[in-house]
Structure 1
Amino acid sequence: MISDAISNINFWEMLLRTTFAFIILMILARFMGKKQISQLTFFHYVTGITIGSIAAEISAQTETPFLDGAIAMIWWALLTVVVNLLTIKSKKARILFDDQPTIIIHRGKISEQGMKKARLTLNDLNMMLREQSIFAVADVNYAILETNGQLSVLKKAGQESATKQDVNAPVNDPKYIPTEIISDGKLIKENLTELKLTEEWVYEQLKKNGIGKVEQVYYAEILTDGKLHIDLRTEGK
């Protein structure tokens, strides 16, 4: 009988704690504004997770005093609003909390420094481009990694607006799917095999472009027409 009574008390207590936590969370979400909800930056992402974790803690853990948890949520939200105001008023504060966009591709050239700063691999970059239906780095003029982790891309002129159907030009099936064959100075042999290309062919193409060693190439990909797009290393020069 006693255990049943305790269980009933815990049941109603958890309902009340969860209800009040839900109400406080909704009020704080409106208070912090749409910028927090959209999680525009890493800071807002972390803030959202933290406030959600505190709400979950005071809802599910009876050992946690509800008032203490509510104060923590409210104070965290106030700190977030203060930081938002600082970032609006101060450029230095904005850089400190939100960081800055990073140029990954500049005028068709992959920035090794930008890749290292963003801690991106060439595979990561290709994946992010494919998510925007871009299968060849050679089609990109500029690519910027935004503070929210999204990649903004400006295609090269002639790659963005009119299609061949728009100008009634003949349409041919691509010979290849754009595929990387050199990554960070190393041949990707499995991709060559899949494309039915040989290492000798690659060396010949590099030689035609005045490149003596594969190690000189930071990135290279085969384009749809069979041509090779080459991005040379810049560091160490």
Structure 2
Amino acid sequence: MRGSCGQGCRGRNVKRYIEAVAVQIGKDLRLEWRSKDAINAMLFLALLVVVLFSLAFDPTRAEARQIAGGVLCVAILFAATSALNQAWSRELRGGVLDAQRMSPSPPSALLLGKVVANFLVVSSVELVLAPLFTIFYNLDPKGNAWLLLAVLPLGTWALVGNGVFFAALSMRARSRELLLPLLLFPIFIPALLAMTSAAGAVFTGESDPVLWIRLLAGYDVIFTTAAVLLFGLVLNSEG
């Protein structure tokens, strides 16, 4: 009986946890769909970075292959950071964080819901940016082009997961727009290097991107776990 009850209780807890995450995802996506503030800002910044790099370097086709991975990842980094700065602004204005502290659902459910919602928003921008980027730089990805479907999501998850966590850490700071990049960029550098190396390998075909993809996956597991475990302390410290 005890074993059966324990399994049933764990099952109900997991179900409630997933429901809490899903509620947060749905809320954030609905609000973003109505305003489209983050999507519009990210598209503008990402396209601006791509165009400026093209005008500054005027690369040949061979040179474009060499720099394509770095340019694409840097464009995503700067564009996503602009949105992550506002990741918790609605919660601050609406008093949601105070309500969350009294909620029976774990703080990590709020974090994961916020991360998944922002991941989907950034990924939607990438779906628009990547084809335009390929056409704009006259690129022809090599045989492993399908691996971009692993590189971009894994790199984006690393960026958004850390970004949402550090945005929560700095959300009450007076100059949080400046503080977030200072906290985020040093932590994200290993993932950025792996992401740019993997994307560059896909565009040039000169090396195998699988090792970099594995490093990205390991990075995601480690830092997502750390964020989930530490977010309760961050949430309580903001009270």
Between structures 1 and 2, the one with greater strand share: 1
Superposition TM-score, scaled by structure 1 size: 0.23
Greater RCO structure (CA 8 Å; 6+ sep): 2
Compare the two structures and name the one with the higher helix fraction. 2
- TM-score, normalising length: structure 2: 0.23
